[in-house]
Amino acid sequence: MGRVTERRKVIRIRDGAVSTRPDTLVAEEPLEIRLNGKPLAITMRTPGDDFALAAGFLVSEGVLGRADELQNIVYCAGATVDGSNTYNIVDVKTAPGVVIPDITLERNVYTTSSCGLCGKASLDAVRTTARWTIDDTAGDTTPPVRLAPELLASLPDRLRAAQRVFDRTGGLHAAALFTEDGELLDIREDVGRHNAVDKLVGRALQNGSLPLSRTVLLVSGRASFELAQKAVMAGIPVLAAVSAPSSLAVDLAAESNLTLVGFLRGASMNVYAGEHRIALRAAAAQG
């Protein structure tokens, strides 16, 4: 839509020298998500992939899980004097017969905040609404997902190399999906890391690829409860982050059989849960 970046004049100071120049900034605008015509949530996001963002958000909310449950997504006219379209409101229409869960105010508060009204309520809600169990195998003849630390260590550089808008702005988070062999499947950027993940999951829903049972989700920042929740709701078995996880994210990972890796930097990383999917050397595991 041509609104991913914007230009602003800045005063630049370098080694005492002062100059004026244009700077490229990442765009940030509100997106209102409506469900069957009724307002549901507002998120601040980088414009682009808005339909995927809305679809992924509804996967996280337990509303959608299959492509055939989604009838369509359309932009609505914005709240302007002339009624013109601001492209900041989308309406998601579910297919006939799809049962809409009771998305209460309490549910929305903790889903959109990265923390919770209380830890137990948050964990229980994800457990009761998750469509899939994160199993170690996708079938009787399929081997478990097992990742070498060296493979995980190579992923942040590949994520960074694919961040096209970050190179121009320095102000975007990114989320990427990799296969268990390290192949990059998709990458999305946004001012909000949770939005970047929703865009990935929403595209997977639209493509009929859920659950993402043999993939690795890598995020450019920390691993909050919210991101662990989104991984679980999409059936993703491995979540890795270049920064720290929260305590509630670790609790959810342990309860959901999710492998959670934090501080993934160079050859170093911390494994907080689901270590059975990491091919640790015997000596290191004993130490």
Q: Is residue 230 part of a domain?
A: yes
**Angle separating helix axes 225-233 and 50-60, nearest 10 degrees:** 90
| Residue 185 belongs to a domain | yes
Whichever domain contains 248, its CATH number is 3.40.140.10
The tokens describing 106, both together, are 């309490």
| 118 in active site | no
> Looking at 25, 41, 98, 115, which residue is catalytic?
115
Q: Which residues contact 154 (CB under 8 A, 6 or more apart)?
A: 182
Q: Is there a single domain that holds both residue 277 and residue 162?
A: yes
Asked if residue 208 lies in contact with residue 216, where contact means CB atoms within 8 angstroms, the answer is no
- Which position has the higher pLDDT, 21 or 187? 187
Mean pLDDT value across residues 37-43: 91
- Same domain for 81 and 193: no
For 66-96, write each residue's pLDDT tens digit: 999 999 999 997 656 566 667 899 999 999 9
Q: Per-residue pLDDT averaged across 22-42, rounded? A: 88
The model's pTM: 0.84
Q: Residue 225's pLDDT is what?
A: 92
Cross-strand partners of 188: 175
Give percent helix, percent strand, percent coil of the chain, each to the nearest 5.
30, 30, 40
Q: What is the pLDDT of residue 103?
A: 65
* Inter-CA distances, 74 with 50, 52, 89, 113, Å: 10, 11, 9, 26
Do residues 153 and 282 share a domain?
yes
Token representation of residue 149: 């630390």
Indicate the number of domains in the chain. Answer: 2
In the prediction, which pLDDT does 1 show?
43
Q: For 234-265, how does the pLDDT look when each residue is reduced to its tens digit (9 = 90+)?
A: 999 999 999 999 999 999 999 999 999 999 99
Q: With 50 as the cut, is the pLDDT of residue 132 above it? A: yes
User: In terms of domains, do 165 and 278 share one?
Assistant: yes
Regarding whether 62 and 33 lie in a shared domain, the answer is yes
Of all helices (H) and strands (E), which one includes residue 199? helix 193-206
H or E segment to which residue 23 belongs:
strand 17-26
CATH number at residue 79: 3.10.20.10
Cross-strand bridge partners of residue 30:
44
Q: Which residue has the higher pLDDT, 230 or 169?
A: 230
Q: In this structure, are 61 and 178 located in the same domain?
A: no
pLDDT of residue 186: 95
Q: What is the mean pLDDT of residues 111-117?
A: 38
Q: How many helices (H) and strands (E) does the chain have?
A: 9, 12
Cβ burial 70-102 (10 Å sphere, 16+ → b, else e): beebeeeeeeeeeeeeebbbbbbebeeebeeee
Looking at the structure, tell me whether residues 173 and 114 fall in a common domain: no
Tokens 């491995």 — which residue?
238
Measured distance CA(122)–CA(120) in Å, rounded: 5
Residue where a domain terminates, one of 96, 129, 162: 129
- Per the structure, the complete domain to which residue 112 belongs is given by 29-129
Q: Are residues 103 and 225 in the same domain?
A: no
Same domain, 156 and 260: yes
At residue 109 the predicted structure's pLDDT band, cuts being 50, 70 and 90, is very low
pLDDT surpassing 60 at residue 13? yes
Is there a domain that residue 21 lies in?
Answer: no
